[in-house]
């Protein structure tokens, strides 16, 4: 039986962590064994082996990862400092980190029939990097790690949203800053996450796409309940449909933004 891949994406500060945490709590409440990769990275500084993946019922993942290329991205390449890295270097680093993660964890987990819940993914690159660096979207999609991720597009994509002003208030409270944290940039990002072309891109790859708005006065508990409702509705609809074979997706004719 093919596994289920859920990706949660959206601007920083839009509620992704709340949604991922809610889905992890749902899994644990159903007595499933969870492999949380972030905690695993902290303890062992490497990716889990297949035996550890197979022993779990659900994998909690995130991008960039916290090891190897992902660690360099977080601690060096996108941190605010006097050192600057080219747009192409960033795009390639994110794609390589993604390629390693998919080969080492995501693909084996899905083939073994596991649930995979992931915070961020290839959609982040497709949204952020054309704004930050003016790299053509089709060129991003052709990077090996990105193409691999699109071949394994999520079964359910949840996009969290909040106004750019609210997002800036939230992320300004964080101790670690990134090169992406300014209001003008966040406004451009919000437009891309809300765009029809992005929704259609993933729907064409058989992803179900849902949105969760988290602007006040909406509470954390309300966001959590909405995330669980979306997930349970998805499971019900999936149970009523026959499984489709996994196919590679052709991107050569895509004309997105």
List, in order of start, the domains of the chain with CATH numbers: 4-239 (3.40.50.300)
Q: Which residue has the higher pLDDT, 40 or 178?
A: 40
Is the pLDDT at 244 greater than 90? The verdict is no
Which range has the worst mean pLDDT, 72-81, 89-98, 109-118, 210-219? 72-81
Instruction: Identify the band that residue 111 occupies on the pLDDT scale cut at 50, 70 and 90.
Output: very high
pLDDT at 229: 98
Bond prior to 222 in cis (omega within 30° of 0): no
Query: What is d(CA 210, CA 172) in angstroms, rounded to the nearest whole number?
Result: 27
User: Mean pLDDT across the stretch 171-194?
Assistant: 80
pLDDT digits (tens, 9 = 90+) for 92-104: 999 999 999 999 9
pLDDT at 4: 98
Chain mean pLDDT for the chain: 91
Is the pLDDT at 20 greater than 60? The verdict is yes
Q: Which residues contact 160 (CB under 8 A, 6 or more apart)?
A: 8, 9, 10, 11, 14, 15, 16, 19, 211, 212, 213, 214
pLDDT at 83: 81
User: Mean pLDDT across the stretch 205-210?
Assistant: 97
Query: What is d(CA 147, CA 140) in angstroms, rounded to the nearest whole number?
Result: 8
Contact, 119 vs 17, CB < 8 A? yes
Q: Which residue has the higher pLDDT, 191 or 80?
A: 191
pLDDT at 133: 80
pLDDT digits (tens, 9 = 90+) for 135-170: 899 999 999 999 999 999 999 999 999 999 999 988
DSSP annotation of 79: B
Is the pLDDT at 177 greater than 70? The verdict is no
pTM strictly above 0.85: yes
Q: Which residues, listed in sequence order, are joined to residue 161 by a DSSP beta bridge?
A: 213
User: Mean pLDDT across the stretch 170-175?
Assistant: 78
Is the pLDDT at 26 greater than 50? The verdict is yes
Is the pLDDT at 247 greater than 60? The verdict is no
């Amino acid at each position: 039986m093919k596994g289920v891949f859920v990706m949660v994406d959206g601007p920083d500060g839009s509620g992704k962590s709340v949604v991922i945490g809610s889905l992890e709590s749902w899994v644990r409440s159903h007595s499933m064994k969870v492999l949380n990769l972030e905690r695993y990275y902290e303890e062992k500084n490497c990716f889990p082996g297949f035996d550890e993946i197979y022993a779990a019922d659900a994998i909690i993942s995130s991008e960039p990862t916290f090891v190897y290329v992902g660690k360099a991205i977080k601690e060096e390449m996108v941190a605010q400092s006097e050192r600057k890295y080219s747009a192409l270097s960033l795009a390639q680093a994110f794609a390589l980190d993604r390629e390693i993660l998919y080969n080492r964890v995501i693909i084996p987990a899905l083939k073994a029939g596991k649930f995979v819940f992931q915070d961020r993914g290839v959609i982040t690159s497709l949204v952020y990097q054309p704004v930050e660096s003016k790299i053509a979207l089709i060129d991003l999609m052709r990077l090996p790690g990105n193409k691999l991720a699109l071949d394994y597009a999520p079964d359910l994509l949840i996009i969290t949203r909040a106004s750019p002003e609210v997002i800036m208030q939230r992320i300004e409270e964080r101790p670690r800053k990134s090169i992406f944290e300014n209001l003008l940039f966040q406004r451009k990002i919000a437009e891309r996450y809300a765009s029809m072309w992005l929704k259609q891109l993933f729907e064409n790859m058989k992803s179900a796409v849902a949105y969760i708005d988290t602007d006040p006065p909406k509470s954390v508990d309300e966001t959590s309940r909405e995330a669980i409702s979306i997930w349970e509705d998805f499971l019900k609809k999936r149970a009523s449909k026959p499984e489709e074979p996994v196919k590679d997706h052709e991107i050569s004719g895509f004309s997105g933004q």
